[in-house]
Chains A and B, each alone.
Chain A
């Protein structure tokens, strides 16, 4: 197998595993469909925005949870934001972590919230690594003169 085919194979396998393991869902493939010649870096741009947003929101949640008297509505509103943006990019594990998080906010359970925050942070870090790996693969394919295969 030549280099391009090998890389493409790797890309397909890696992408499939991301879906299979629930890191991303169909919305992520919708994002990929929105990318075209007039919008060639759409996915990378949106994903970067998402990770920045995620980092900011996680910081806000942490700060809010450190307070003497935790304002759980404030925490919940940050989680709600993150749930929305993760849903928009198809980051399904992050989204699911947010859903669980919200129930602890509603219950005003600080310990539970802190655990969820950890979970959210974890999912975000893992996803970030995985997507960076995916984008690297894409760049390698393009550098070798190949095209990115569609993965349904």
Chain B
């Protein structure tokens, strides 16, 4: 791991072909723009061909206003944000998210012969459950997913979702609102995971035989993504703790949605480099 007190070092990266996998930047440094050249260098690093592997750019912040986040996003700069103080579990989660997505992104950027799979082909034919207690939100979320070719069903509560997700079910993924009355998204997810682990244990006991003669999954684990209006302050840890696989912004933002579903609905790519 290399450290730099200012942006000058990044020029060196390009010239000496040192290729960082990831650059962690302290938000206040970047946004203060004192060393204005640093900003430009970050963007050069990403956009020109000097580095073969485009590094992932992560902002570290103790606090971040919506405004600052918008600035970072607009600069094409921040792949993700990690809130300080740094916690090992949070870093692990971010690394996983950023690196696994990163490989796919690079496949698209570095190998123009392999166009990125459009979101429509990722979601086409997939059966998705949208859980939200607000009818307007359900309708909008369903509309977006249907446009991308998914087969969508909706549930207006955690309780309804649990009924629909009794095993065996035929859903490929679930988008779950977090704040709902009676049973919130975290609780609903915990119960779904509990149900799955019970079934999985049973299957192991039965020597891996089928349930009810229907198509058997080797192990039940349905992708569950939280839908949250507040991506920055979203409790990523809480999402992971209860068994969610990630979160997406609400309302959907296409790039964000793409990256989230690409993890589940695309085969694992070969590593870009052997370093």
Contacts and interface: CB of A to CB of B under 8 A. Distances in A.
Given A49-B139, A89-B140, A34 B147 contact: yes
Interface string B110-142: 000000000000000000000001111101110
Nearest to B132: A84
Contact of B134 (A31, A39, A85): A85
A53 B134 CA distance: 9
A42 B143 contact: yes
Contact of A39 (B133, B143, B179): B143
B229 A84 contact: yes
Interface in B138-165: 139-141, 143-144, 146-147
B270 to A, nearest CB: 34
A27 B229 CA distance: 13
Contacts of B141: 88
A85 B147 contact: no
A85 B251 contact: no
Contacts of A39: 143, 146-147
Given A46-B139, A49-B139, A81-B134, A88 B251 contact: yes
Contacts of B144: 30, 34
A47 B80 CA distance: 33
B248 to A, nearest CB: 13
Contact of A30 (B134, B139, B181, B251): B251
A88 B251 CA distance: 5
Interface string A13-55: 0000000000000010011011010010010011001100100
Interface in B207-266: 229, 250-251
B134 A87 contact: no
A36 B139 CA distance: 15
Contacts, number: 51
A80 interface: yes
Given A46-B136, A53-B135, A80 B143 contact: no
Interface in B56-101: none
Contacts of A83: 229
B139 to A, nearest CB: 5
Interface string B174-208: 00000101000000000000000000000000000
Contact of B250 (A36, A42, A88): A88
Given A53-B135, A85-B136, A88-B137, A46 B143 contact: yes
Given A53-B134, A53-B135, A80-B179, A88 B140 contact: yes
A84 B140 contact: no
Contacts of A46: 136, 139-140, 143
B229 A87 contact: yes
B251 A36 contact: no
A31 B139 CA distance: 11
A49 B142 CA distance: 14
Contact of B136 (A30, A34, A50): A50
A121 B136 CA distance: 18
Nearest to B146: A39
Interface of B: 133-137, 139-141, 143-144, 146-147, 179, 181, 229, 250-251
Query: Across chains A and B, which 8 residue pairs bring their CB atoms closest together, nearest first?
Result: A85-B136, A88-B140, A34-B143, A88-B251, A88-B137, A50-B136, A34-B147, A49-B136
5 contacts: A33-B147, A45-B139, A46-B139, A50-B136, A85-B134
Interface of A: 27, 30-31, 33-34, 36, 39, 42, 45-46, 49-50, 53, 77, 80-81, 83-85, 87-89
